[in-house]
């Protein structure tokens, strides 16, 4: 991604997260970026295309980060812990992106459906990781896992909790402390070792 496109991308992400999608105009994006409308339209055909690109790229980043992190994990518990840590890091590092996705996942507008599609793909990925771990005999460290789909949805649901915790504490959160607290909650409920 070239520098101008990246600046449009980052500016749009910040404006969508702070003002909301509907309240952000193309004029405002070009003004903050410092480019003409023609330059923006060279990179993106519309505000909707910027939004879709933003959501797609952000969710790819999350999925790729998890794939890389769990590649060397050999138990379900270690994979779930890696997923939890990645989610916390992504939420704290890319709060604007996650604010957009989480605020737009409900509703019936095209952007709501786009967010929902990517969130469901992410949850499906987590469910597949859990199911494959069980099938591969890597789940001996899980004594009461009844429904991989619910666990996968719950893991994604943690992102809402992390965002609320960040807002409540004015961004003064410690990643290790947050991880430790969520680890206790999740792994105690699933008897993971």
Residue 134: predicted pLDDT: 86
pTM: 0.85
| Token output for 134 | 């069980």
Which long-range contacts does 113-117 make (Cβ < 8 Å, 24+ apart)?
A: 114/51, 114/52, 114/55, 115/55
Q: What is the pLDDT of residue 66?
A: 95
| The three-state (H, E, C) secondary structure of 53-94, written as one string | HHHHHHHHHHHHHHHHHHCCCCCHHHHHHHHHHHHHHHHHHC
Residue 13, pLDDT score: 92
- Give residue 39's pLDDT: 93
Residue 142 has phi, psi (to 5 degrees) of -120, 115
Q: Is 59:101 a contact under the CB 8 Å cutoff? A: yes
**Helix, strand, or coil here: 1?**
coil
Question: What local confidence, expressed as pLDDT, does residue 154 receive?
Answer: 86
CB 130 within 8 A of CB 148: yes
CA distance 192 to 140: 9
- Give the whole-angstrom CA distance, residue 189 versus residue 11: 40
**Positions of the chain with pLDDT under 50:** 193
Identify the pLDDT of residue 191: 52
b/e burial code for range 120-130 (CB count within 10 A of at least 16 → b) = eebbebbbebb
Residue-range domains of the chain with CATH: 1-45 (1.10.10.60), 51-189 (1.10.357.10)
């Amino acid at each position: 991604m070239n520098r101008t496109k990246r600046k449009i991308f980052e500016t749009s992400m910040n404006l969508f997260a702070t003002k909301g999608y509907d309240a952000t105009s193309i004029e405002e994006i070009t003004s903050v970026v410092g480019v003409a409308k023609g330059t923006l339209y060279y990179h993106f055909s519309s505000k909707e295309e910027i939004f879709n690109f933003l959501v797609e790229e952000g969710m790819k980043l999350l999925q790729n980060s998890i794939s890389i992190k769990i590649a060397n994990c050999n138990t379900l518990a270690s994979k779930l812990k890696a997923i939890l840590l990645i989610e916390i890091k992504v939420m704290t590092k890319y709060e604007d992106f996650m604010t957009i996705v989480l605020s737009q996942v409900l509703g019936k507008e095209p952007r709501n459906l786009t967010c929902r599609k990517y969130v469901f793909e992410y949850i499906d990925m987590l469910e597949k990781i859990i199911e494959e771990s069980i099938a591969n005999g890597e789940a001996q460290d899980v004594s009461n896992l009844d429904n991989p789909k619910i666990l996968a949805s719950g893991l994604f649901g943690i992102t809402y909790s992390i965002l609320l915790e960040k807002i409540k504490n004015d961004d003064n959160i410690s990643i290790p402390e947050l991880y430790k607290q969520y680890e206790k909650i999740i792994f105690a409920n699933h008897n993971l070792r």
